[in-house]
């Protein structure tokens, strides 16, 4: 089973979209995505500096657009994978890849999601920090003591804490034994109760959106299970805005389903990095630029690179 995975916010870098514009039809596709998301994705992905593409309103549609562009490029030459999953906002790319949503609806919803989460984040000064290493029970106990939420269980010894900037600073000053605390460049405490207003906005927008049941095996970040209903998958994607991402459970489920390879789509690298540590021996390809499509196609079709 080859699984396509789609990254979340924080994986983007300035100019990363530029090489993708050299593909036939890429500019036209991105222009359509820009209209749907109400963001100039071409300018953001080629000219935007680090601060601009870090802006939640820009970052989220930019990442989903890049993921779907690179996914379309691979499937056009090598066919579709067996299963799909997305980390955080990457779930919208996964829903489109699985046929639950059209690309246009996925970009429309991610534009709304990004704006709503940015508004929710502006209410109070909050943030997120990755806690790498240490004993998991000790880490979770430290977060509870400091009123922080384990917003992302990423597996491979990484938990992302979210909450007020003051509590995160205290966590960094009192890092659990054997761990490192790394502040993340995000606008707020995503996947926590601070994002409840954004859930309401996204739920309203998603309510009238057409869905189909997934045509590929589709995992949810909610609990790492496979979802067979398109409407249920969208509902879980909406609720996930204010609830923890359980990527650790997704990876455990990949193993149970007999994963034989993982392909991560642009802007790639984070999820394949986690997979290399949590799913040792499973081949991975990070599709960062069009130059990586040959290796991804070889893995997908079972050919030697």
Active-site residue set: 88, 191
- The dihedrals phi and psi of 137, each to the nearest 5 degrees, come to -65, -40
The size of the chain, in residues, is 305
DSSP letter at 236 equals H
The sign of the torsion formed by the CA atoms of 264, 65, 211, 115 equals positive
User: Do residues 280 and 256 make contact, with C-beta atoms less than 8 angstroms apart?
Assistant: no
Q: In terms of C-beta distances under 8 Å and separation of at least 24 residues, what long-range contacts does 295-300 make, across chains too?
A: 296/74, 296/78, 296/263, 297/74, 297/77, 297/78, 299/2, 299/261, 299/263, 300/2, 300/74, 300/78, 300/79, 300/81, 300/261, 300/263
Q: Which of 81, 72, 60 is nearest to 7 (CA)?
A: 60
Q: Return the biggest CA–CA distance within the chain.
A: 53
Cβ neighbours for 126, distance < 8 A, ≥ 6 positions apart: 162, 163, 164, 165, 188, 189, 192, 194
Q: Which helix (H) or strand (E) holds 2?
A: strand 2-6
């Amino acid at each position: 089973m080859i699984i396509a995975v789609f990254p979340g916010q924080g994986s983007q870098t300035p100019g990363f979209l530029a090489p993708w514009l050299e593909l036939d039809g890429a500019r036209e596709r991105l222009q359509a995505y820009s209209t749907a998301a109400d963001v100039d994705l071409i300018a953001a992905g080629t000219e935007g500096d680090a601060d601009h593409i870090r802006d939640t309103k820009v970052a989220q549609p930019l990442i989903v657009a890049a993921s779907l562009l690179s996914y379309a490029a691979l499937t056009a030459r090598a066919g579709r994978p067996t299963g799909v999953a997305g980390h955080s906002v990457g779930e919208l790319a996964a829903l489109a890849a699985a046929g639950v949503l059209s690309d246009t609806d996925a970009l429309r919803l991610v534009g709304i999601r990004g704006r709503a989460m940015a508004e929710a984040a502006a209410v109070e000064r909050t943030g997120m920090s990755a806690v790498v290493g240490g004993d998991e029970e000790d880490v979770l106990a430290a977060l509870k003591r400091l009123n922080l939420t384990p917003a992302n269980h990423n597996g491979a010894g990484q938990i992302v804490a979210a909450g007020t900037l003051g509590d995160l600073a205290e966590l960094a000053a009192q890092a659990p034994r054997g761990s490192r605390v790394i502040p993340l460049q995000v606008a707020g405490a995503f996947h926590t109760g601070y994002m409840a207003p954004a859930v309401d906005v996204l739920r309203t927008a998603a309510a009238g959106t057409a869905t189909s049941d997934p045509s590929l095996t589709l995992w949810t970040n909610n609990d790492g299970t496979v979802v067979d209903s398109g409407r249920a998958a969208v509902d879980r994607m909406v609720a996930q805005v204010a609830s923890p991402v359980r990527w650790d459970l997704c990876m455990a489920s990949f193993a149970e389903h007999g994963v034989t390879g993982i392909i991560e789509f642009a802007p790639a690298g984070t999820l394949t990095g986690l997979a290399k540590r949590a799913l040792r021996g499973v081949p991975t390809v990070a599709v960062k630029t069009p130059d990586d499509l040959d290796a991804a196609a070889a893995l997908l079709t079972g050919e030697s690179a």
